[in-house]
Structure 1
Amino acid sequence: MDRAPAVAPEEQPPVTSAAPAPPPPRPRHLLGAWAAGLLLVGPALLIGCRVLDKDGITPVPQLLSLLPWFAVPAALAVLLAAVVRHRALTCTAVVVLTATVWASLPHTPQLVTAHGLPLAQVRVLAANVEFGQATGALTETIRRERPQLVFVSECDRACGRALTAALATELPHRASVDAEGSVGSVLLSAYPLSDHRVIPAVMGMPGATATIAGVPVRLQLAHPLPPMPGQVRLWKAELRRIENAAAGHTGPLLVAGDFNASQDHAAFRSILETGHLQDAARLAEESRTPTWPMEGPLPPFVQIDHVLVSEDFSVRGVRFLDLPGSDHRAVLTDLDLRGER
């Protein structure tokens, strides 16, 4: 009997073992990644507004006052993302931290060098006396420091009368908005004043022209509303009026007071750029010295009191003075008015 030919078994493909699936993320790694992401939300939002040159809506204008401090959560986010080995999140956190540090550098809209010979040395003091409570401290400071120009915010009628009586010899000239509470403001001068004008605002913003060494110098007190929730639109509008007043002026210009805004606010930077002004503190390398709040549980964390100068002035120095009774530091600035003799 013939045997049936043996049938060769079908060739089977070589068996290859499948690559092992990556292990699922550990719960603590997921938690770390989520924590890092949440830490980046605030800094990323503020940096976005800073890059777009916008102040946004509440709570952005309020948080922009704290912009340099947001480098802390951004740095923590970098650390957490690196610990959990999340490469994309680590790179994102590094970018946000770098941008936050960049935005915290002193703002310089343009390089300005004052030209001409010095015509006069001018000492300027800008102070918020908090509803007149620091009137006595301001009077003592003026007698000690001897400024020729003093810009006083939140100076009610009693404050105005007290300063005028006590300083009639040293600062005999004045421009003012006489009112109660935070609305009152006074501009005191050792130089004759003319052309009194007021920028329309909820709180008083008087201005005048001083004649210094024969040169007319425009003076403007700044005190817009603070960017509290519900009044951000008004805050922006009043800062824009200061900007328009600066932009429409030619010649020497001083704008000083409580701006309720820092260099991290687009509305404040616009005043500098449009009015061709420099912050005296920036020129003196003091632009991150905080002036508010001087009362309460928090240490001062933001500079909102400024002396802005046109290119007709050079800055010799800036000091920040405590005023007992006020929640602001005063800004004392030594300037040289320059021009052709």
Structure 2
Amino acid sequence: MRSTRGRLLGAWCAGLLLAGVSVVVGCRIADTDAVTPVPQLLAFLPWLTVPAGAAVALSLLARRPAGVIWGTVVLGLLAWFVEPYGTGEQPDGPVLARLRVLTSNVEFGWATDALIPVVRRERPDIVFVQECEYTCQAAVAKELGAAYPHRQAVEGDGSVGSVVLSRFPLTATAGVPGSMGMPGAVADVGGHAVRLQLAHPRPPLPRQVSLWKRELGRLRDFAARHGNAPLVLAGDFNASQDHAVFRRVLGTGLRDAARLAGEDREPSWPSRTAPAFGTQIDHVLVSRDFSAAGARFLHLAGTDHRALVVDLTLHRGRQPRAGPRPGGEDRGRGRSAPGGSGAQGASLTRADPKEAP
């Protein structure tokens, strides 16, 4: 009797586990992020092999062949989707320029003190910093202003502030509107215009999934408009390759630099458990003019995100001339930084008012 009850309980537990995992896998197959809790679980899709594997084991113990078959199919689908998404093909045309990019979410500015020595050590040419509030922006201007005399920023408290630091001259652009700052610029990289855009959409919190989708949709629209010229779109996307809204950004023709460098499943969040456990939601996306190598994820004290450093090579293509187009297209809403800030040629913008979830 006890053996029968135990097998029945095991079969029920296996069924519940497989039902939950199957819903998430079904949404992945259907190319939709659906509603809570699916977006949150999709971020950790490869880890769903754990409950699916447990369900297969329980089905074996319970002597339920149907459960074993069901679980095996689910595990097979999960294994299929663990494979990298998108192309790993690199351009092979003549090299025009090489640059190193670093992106970091400093979590309300708490990791600013850890970021500054990392930037000095890694010596990136362009730095994208998310959640860089007033104190953070003042610190990076003071400590890094000499090495990075050009910057484009959105001012704001908490998670709203963001800044792009550059060794190259920048022309301000309007950026992408959002509930958190997403500044943009065009960099003159040795006479070649490279559009830079920081990404930081709202995370898919239970009551903010629709806002998360809208803001990633704006990034997709931006990429569709500008992806035919050299473009670097980098930051905390709050989305992984298993989210449909993120794959639509890649569907515009952009490619994930970590994918090109063979690090497409290396976790960037949460840093406290990475690399043993986590998901990759911090990305550097590039147009097809770029090849990428040497992607590395770095731990910073004070933030729940790992910083990402990647080496990019710009190859010959249809290159627009550096600088703004006639008529001042995409000049943005910038104003000059105060003199003596250590960031000559900088531009600051105020964050848009937060959207209601």
Give the alignment's TM-score, normalised by structure 1: 0.88
Deviation at 1:119, TM superposition (A): 1.3
Q: 1:155·1:186 contact (CA, 8 Å) conserved in 2?
A: yes
Q: 1:113 to 1:294 in 2, by over 3 A?
A: closer
Task: Specify the alignment match of 1:63 in structure 2.
Answer: 41
Aligned equivalents of 1:294, 1:280: Cα separation in 2: 20
What is the distance in 2 between the residues matched to 1:101 and 1:295? 26
SS of equivalent residue, structure 1 residue 183: coil
- Matched residues in 2 for 1:279 and 1:297: separation? 20
Query: Which of residues 272, 277, 296 in structure 1 aligns to 2:254?
Result: 277
Correspondence 1:106 to 2:75: no
Match of 2:243 among 254, 261, 265: 265
Q: Which among 129, 136, 144 is matched to residue 159 of structure 1?
A: 136
Write out aligned runs for 1:121-140 (5 A). Answer: 121-140=98-117
Q: Is the 1:216–1:252 Cα contact (8 Å) retained in structure 2?
A: yes
Deviation string 1:161-200 (CA, Å, 9 cap, x unpaired) is 2111211221111111011111000000111111422211
2:29 to 51, 72, 75: 51
Q: Mind listing any 5+ residue stretches in structure 1 that lack a counterpart?
A: 1-24
Q: CA 1:297–1:128 in 2, change beyond 3 Å: closer, same or farther?
A: closer
Q: Among residues 133, 137, 146, which one is paired with 1:169 in the alignment?
A: 146
Q: Which has the larger radius of gyration?
A: 1
1:17-53 CA-to-partner distances (Å, cap 9, x unmatched) read xxxxxxxx93333222212111202210110000000
Question: What are the residue-to-residue correspondences of 1:1-341 with 2, within 5 Å?
Answer: 26-108=4-86, 110=87, 112-249=89-226, 250-274=228-252, 276-295=253-272, 300-339=277-316
Q: What is the total number of aligned residue pairs between the two structures?
A: 316
Relative to structure 1, the CA distance from residue 222 to residue 100 in structure 2 (aligned partners, 3 Å threshold; closer, same or farther) is same
Alpha-carbon contact 1:112-1:311 (below 8 Å) kept: no
| Cα deviation 1:71-104 (Å, max 9, x = unaligned) | 0111122222223332222211110111112122
Structure 2 gaps, min length 5: 320-357
Report the residue type matching 2:230 in the other structure: P
**Per-residue displacement from partner, 1:292-324 (whole Å, max 9, x unpaired)?**
112489965111111111111111210111111
Q: Report the Cα offset of residue 336 of structure 1.
A: 0.7
Partner of 1:16: none
What is the rounded CA distance, in whole Å, between the counterparts of 2:272 and 2:294 in structure 1? 26
Contact 2:90 2:260 in 1 (8 A): no
Please give the alpha-carbon distance, in whole angstroms, between the structure 2 residues aligned to 1:271 and 1:116.
25
Query: 2:88 & 2:309 partners in 1: Cα distance?
Result: 22
Percentage identity across aligned positions?
52
Show CA shifts across 1:218-246 (max 9, x none): 11100000100111000000000000000
Letter in 1 for 2:106: V
Report the residue type matching 2:297 in the other structure: F
* TM-score scaled by length of structure 2: 0.85
Higher relative contact order (CA 8 A, sep 6+): 2
Change (3 A) 1:219 1:298: closer
- The answer on whether the counterparts of 2:105 and 2:307 sit within 8 Å (CA) in structure 1 is yes
Q: Structure 2: how far apart are the matches of 1:285 and 1:192?
A: 31
2-structure distance, mates of 1:297, 1:173: 33
* One-letter code aligned to 2:74: V
Deviates more, 1:286-295 or 1:232-241: 286-295
Equivalents in 2 of 1:86, 1:134: separation in Å? 51
Distance 1:136 1:297 in 2: 21
Amino acid at match of 1:251: A
